[in-house]
Amino acid sequence: MARSITEKIAEITPPDPIKICHVCGTHEWTITRSGLRALLPESVSLIAGPGCPVCIVPAREIDEAVWLALNGVTVTTLGDMYRVPGSEASLDDAKSRGGDVRVVYSVRDAVAMARREPEQEFVFFAIGFETTTPMNALEILDCPENMSFLVSHRLIPPAMEFLAEFEDLDIDGFIAPGHVSTIIGAKPYERFPEEYGVPTVVAGFESLDVLMTVYMILKQIDSDSPKLENEYSRAVTYEGNVRAQEAIYRVFDVIDGSWRGIGEIPSSTLSLKEEFSHADARQRYSIDAGPSRDIYPGCSCHLVILGKITPDECPLFMEECTPETPKGACMVSSEGTCKIWTQERL
Ligand code: SF4
């Protein structure tokens, strides 16, 4: 099957360079682990955009979590976030300095802890794209009094729009993320073929899914007919999970927000609605985290996140920066591009 797809890809691929961008850490994992890049014609490059939900959390927001942990609040976090460096420290560092930081498997665990310890103040560090947001929204609707949320959620379609408009990125096709699309549906991606002329295909996570998606994009390029297609129709519908979307917009407003290594992206971030201010850690505490710094000197995460370079083009890759000594956010999470590329070398 893979061979017949790659043969068809070879037949229709033009000699000019084609840049296909995905925005999902799991897609990068599939592409890298399956060696898909080596199966494609030289003129086709698959680049990784800002698809790691941990990597794009600005250092300032990690600094806020660190400040809370060092000021008497119990900070609960998903494991991927624990070692991501803030401006000067990670949550791991905060714990070693005496802060109460607890890794949880889900927001439910954090809420259960808060209910068991009503005398203690708890904060859940709520990160992630549209995939994880509905669960947090549901918990916010019914959270205990001693619990609040440090909200760092981001939205994927505005980031894709940012990439489509980015001056010298010249993206020829988008692989839209399967997990996020189970929630938001395929509909929000219509603007990419319609407004930007960029073929866009929603993809699943098996290597054959990604290979087929690349073929579908190249076919659109070959016939000069950009459109939205859904390769992952076994899980993603056009409208998505409407109840999950309702939960998100019951609790959150959409605002402009900063992405680590990228900067401000309009309408890309979620903020708690005023009626849920009691559950907003930023309103509950006078957080004073000081000035922030997103990028460690010499780290090229901002270029990796934009797909402008590959991790092995960063001078620190596997030298000063390793999974044991991460200098940038992209080296920490299992969805970070640098971490994924490193595992390929082990
Ligand atoms: Fe940053 Fe490390 Fe990746 Fe270089 S290898 S871009 S320092 S995370």
With 60 as the cut, is the pLDDT of residue 255 above it? yes
Running DSSP on this structure, what letter comes out for residue 239? S
Residue 334 has what pLDDT?
Answer: 87
In this prediction, residues 290-299 reach a mean pLDDT of: 88
42 vs 346 pLDDT, higher one? 42
Q: Strands 101-104, 18-22: parallel, antiparallel or unpaired by DSSP?
A: unpaired
Residue 173 has what pLDDT?
Answer: 97
Phi-psi region of 197 (alpha: psi -120 to 50; beta: other; left: phi over 0): left
pLDDT in tens, 306-330: 989 999 999 999 999 999 998 899 9
- Nearest ligand 1 atom, CA 303: 6
55, 304, 332, 343, best to mutate for ligand 1 pocket (most atoms within 8 Å of CB):
304
Q: Report residue 261's pLDDT band, with 50, 70 and 90 as the boundaries.
A: confident
Residue 15 has what pLDDT?
Answer: 86
Domain layout of the chain by residue ranges: 59-154+242-248+269-284
With 90 as the cut, is the pLDDT of residue 276 above it? yes
Q: Report residue 83's pLDDT band, with 50, 70 and 90 as the boundaries.
A: very high
> For residue 159, how far is its CA from the centre of ligand 1 (angstroms)?
21
> For residue 154, how far is its CA from the centre of ligand 1 (angstroms)?
22
- Nearest ligand 1 atom, CA 298: 7
Alpha carbon distance 109, 104 (integer Å): 6
CB-CB neighbours of 34 under 10 Å: 16
> For residue 313, how far is its CA from the centre of ligand 1 (angstroms)?
9
Q: Report residue 14's pLDDT band, with 50, 70 and 90 as the boundaries.
A: confident
Contact 178, 186 (CB under 8 A): no
With 80 as the cut, is the pLDDT of residue 346 above it? no
Q: Report residue 1's pLDDT band, with 50, 70 and 90 as the boundaries.
A: confident
Q: Could you give the percent of the chain with pLDDT greater than 70?
A: 99
> For residue 302, how far is its CA from the centre of ligand 1 (angstroms)?
9
Q: Name which residue sits closest to atom 3 of ligand 1, judged by CA.
A: 338
Q: Name which residue sits closest to atom 5 of ligand 1, judged by CA.
A: 317
pLDDT in tens, 209-227: 999 999 999 999 999 999 9
- Nearest ligand 1 atom, CA 329: 8
pLDDT in tens, 38-79: 999 999 999 999 999 999 999 999 999 999 999 999 999 999
> For residue 172, how far is its CA from the centre of ligand 1 (angstroms)?
26
Phi-psi region of 329 (alpha: psi -120 to 50; beta: other; left: phi over 0): alpha
Chain position carrying tokens 């794209």: 129
> For residue 325, how far is its CA from the centre of ligand 1 (angstroms)?
10
In this prediction, residues 282-296 reach a mean pLDDT of: 91
Q: Report residue 345's pLDDT band, with 50, 70 and 90 as the boundaries.
A: low
> For residue 193, how far is its CA from the centre of ligand 1 (angstroms)?
32
With 90 as the cut, is the pLDDT of residue 3 above it? no
Sign of the alpha-carbon torsion through 134, 135, 138, 142: negative
- Nearest ligand 1 atom, CA 299: 7
Residue 168 has what pLDDT?
Answer: 85
Going edge to edge, which strands form the sheet with 101-104? 101-104, 74-78, 122-128, 147-153
Q: Residue 330: what are its φ and ψ, rounded to 5°?
A: -65, -10
Residues within a 6 A CB radius of ligand 1: 299-301, 304, 311, 314, 316-317, 321, 327-328, 330-331, 338
- Nearest ligand 1 atom, CA 300: 6
Q: What angle, 0 to 180 degrees and rounded to 10, lies between the N-to-C axes of helices 107-116 and 133-141?
A: 30
Across 165-169, 230-234, 337-341, least confident range: 165-169
Residue 182 has what pLDDT?
Answer: 98
> For residue 24, how far is its CA from the centre of ligand 1 (angstroms)?
18
Residue 237 has what pLDDT?
Answer: 98
H-assigned helices in the chain:
2-12, 25-33, 36-39, 59-69, 91-96, 107-116, 133-141, 156-165, 178-184, 191-196, 207-222, 242-251, 281-284, 301-305, 337-345
Structure tokens of 216? 């579908």
Across 129-133, 149-153, 297-301, least confident range: 297-301
Mean pLDDT of the chain: 95
Alpha carbon distance 163, 51 (integer Å): 12
Question: What CATH number does domain 59-154+242-248+269-284 carry, 3.40.50.11740, 3.90.1150.10, 3.50.30.10, 3.90.1580.10?
Answer: 3.40.50.11740
